[in-house]
Amino acid sequence: MRTALYGSKMADTATGGSGTRPGGKQASTPADNYYLARRRTLQVVVSSLLTEAGFESAEKAAVETLTEMLQSYISEMGRSAKSYCEHTARTQPTLSDIVVTLVEMGFNVETLPAYAKRSQRMVITAPPVTNQPVTPKALTAGQNKPHPSHIPSHFPEFPDPHTYIKTPTYREPVSDYQVLREKAASQRRDVERALTRFMAKTGETQSLFKDDVSTFPLIAARPFTVPYLTALLPSELEMQQMEETDSSEQDDQTDTENLPLHMSTDDSGPEKENASVLQQNTSLSGSRNGEENMIDNPYLRPVKKPKIRRKK
């Protein structure tokens, strides 16, 4: 009865506020009830946050707008978390899905625990609709952890301990060099084999034996449009490796940063007729290179504008 009452009130405000929700009067379906209840809670949350922020009063329209924003933020979070969890072939979102979602939405997750534990926070009463999902008893195991103080008690319970508790095992890690190398080698080989076989299966192949195409499948040779690029440039893997193994290349990298500068001066040249500006520019980069003299190279000079009197 009370819920219904609440609901109708909510519906009124909703229609009054935005006018997007016709037929609010017949707020009788349970779905609508849930909707209204959540909406109501969100409004309470918004109000309490406003109070916390030091507001004494707020216009209804402002509260409505903020509520709308909060709702869409939370919906987006849910939608995104769902996508992440489905992407990893699960049906239930985990904490990490939420974290990734928040990160993706530009939220600094690290600030969250402190915020949750802040002293001046307001505790919001449980939403009135509490048709709690029943967990099948048979599947529970162990004792569920109680909520910490900053989590309201109406929030869902912790999942079963086995879903998050780690059980350390004390088996000796494999440290025998030979075994390690053996393992690394066969692992790599298996991966390579599986990968190439997969590629061969999914794409065009060539074969050395006319009667058999599957035993030694060769991925078909495909010509490149610019063959020298793949042949000369180190692969990303190698680049990574190079960065890891070598630090002396760093000098070079700072050099590379300089170069786009040269190029850009070259490009922006037409706009700058003033050569001295450019010279300053190049001398700047020169000095950054640790060289004293200015680079005066004709290819770095600006392109001149055509002279009007110049006739072809």
Partner 1 sequence: FHPSGKQGSKTMNRKKGDKGFEICINNINFQRKSVVGYVELTIFPTVANLNRIKLNSKQCRIYRVRVNDLEAAFIYNDPTLEVCHHESKQRNLNYFSNAYAAAVSAVDPDAGNGELCIKVPSELWKHVDELKVLKVHINFSLDQPKGGLHFVVPNMEGSMAERGAHVFSCGYQNSTRFWFPCVDSYSELCTWKLEYTVDAAMVAVSNGDLVETVYTHDMRKKTFHYMLTIPTAASNISLAIGPFEILVDPYMHEVTHFCLPQLLPLLKHTTSYLHEVFEFYEEILTCRYPYSCFKTVFIDEAYVEVAAYASMSIFSTNLLHSAMIIDETPLTRRCLAQALAQQFFGCFISRMSWSDEWVLKGISGYIYGLWMKKTFGVNEYRHWIKQELDQIVAYELKTGGVLLHPIFGGGKEKDNPASHLHFSIKHPHTLSWEYYTMFQCKAHLVMRLIENRISMEFMLQVFNKLLSLASTASSQKFQSHMWSQMLVSTSGFLKSISNVSGKDIQPLIKQWVDQSGVVKFYGSFAFNRKRNVLELEIKQDYTSPGTQKYVGPLKVTVQELDGSFNHTLQIEENSLKHDIPCHSKSRRNKKKKIPLMNGEEVDMDLSAMDADSPLLWIRIDPDMSVLRKVEFEQSDFMWQYQLRYERDVVAQEEAILALEKFPTPASRLALTDILEQEQCFYRVRMMACFCLAKIANSMVSTWTGPPAMKSLFTRMFCCKTCPNIVKTNNFMNFQSYFLQKTMPVAMALLRDVHNLCPKEVLMFILDLIKYNDNRKNKFSDNYYRAELIDALANSVTPAVSVNNEVRTLDNLNPDVRLILEEITRFLNMEKLLPSYRHTITVSCLKAIRVLQKNGHVPSDPALFKSYAEYGHFIDVRIAALDAVVDYTKVDRSYEELQWLLTMVQNDPVPYIRHKILDMLTKNPPFTKNMESPLCNEALVDQLWKLMNSGTSHDWRLRCGAVDLYFTLFGLSRPSCLPLPELGLVLNLKEKKAVLNPTIIPESVVNNQEPVNSTNNHGQSVGFQNTFSNSQEEEEIDMDTVHDSQAFIYHHLNMLERPSTPGMSKFIGKMICSMPLHSIKHLLTPPISVLSGKEQSSGEVNMHPVSAAPLSVFSKESNSSKHSDHHHHHHHEHKKKKKKHKHKHKHKHKHDSKEKEKDPFAFSNSPASARSIRSPSLSD
In the region spanning residues 202 to 231, those forming contacts with partner 1, defined by CB under 8 A, are 206, 208-212, 215-231
DSSP string, 111-155: GHHHHHT-TT--PPPPPS---PPPPPGGG--SPPPPPPTTS-TTS
**Would residue 89 be called left, alpha or beta, if left means φ above 0 and alpha means ψ between -120 and 50 degrees?**
left
From CA 205, how far away is CA 249, in angstroms rounded? 40
Which of 232, 276, 292, 309 is in the footprint of partner 1 by CB under 8 A? 232
CB distance 147 to 153 below 8 Å: yes
- Of residues 138 through 177, those in contact with partner 1 by CB under 8 A are 177
Closest to partner 1 by CB, 12 vs 182, is 182
From CA 279, how far away is CA 265, in angstroms rounded? 10
Which of 151, 233, 275, 284 is in the footprint of partner 1 by CB under 8 A? 233
SS3 of 51, please? helix
Nearest distance, CB of residue 244 and partner 1, angstroms: 9
Tell me if 292 contacts partner 1 by CB under 8 A.
no
Which of 32, 68, 104, 266 is in the footprint of partner 1 by CB under 8 A? 266
Any alpha helices (H) in 143-302, and if so which ranges?
177-202, 227-232, 236-245, 250-268, 275-288
Closest to partner 1 by CB, 110 vs 246, is 246
Nearest distance, CB of residue 88 and partner 1, angstroms: 24
Which of 112, 184, 275, 277 is in the footprint of partner 1 by CB under 8 A? 184
Closest to partner 1 by CB, 144 vs 289, is 289
From CA 97, how far away is CA 101, in angstroms rounded? 6
Nearest distance, CB of residue 223 and partner 1, angstroms: 2
- Of residues 235 through 264, those in contact with partner 1 by CB under 8 A are 235, 237-238, 241-242, 245-246, 249, 252, 255-256, 259, 262-263
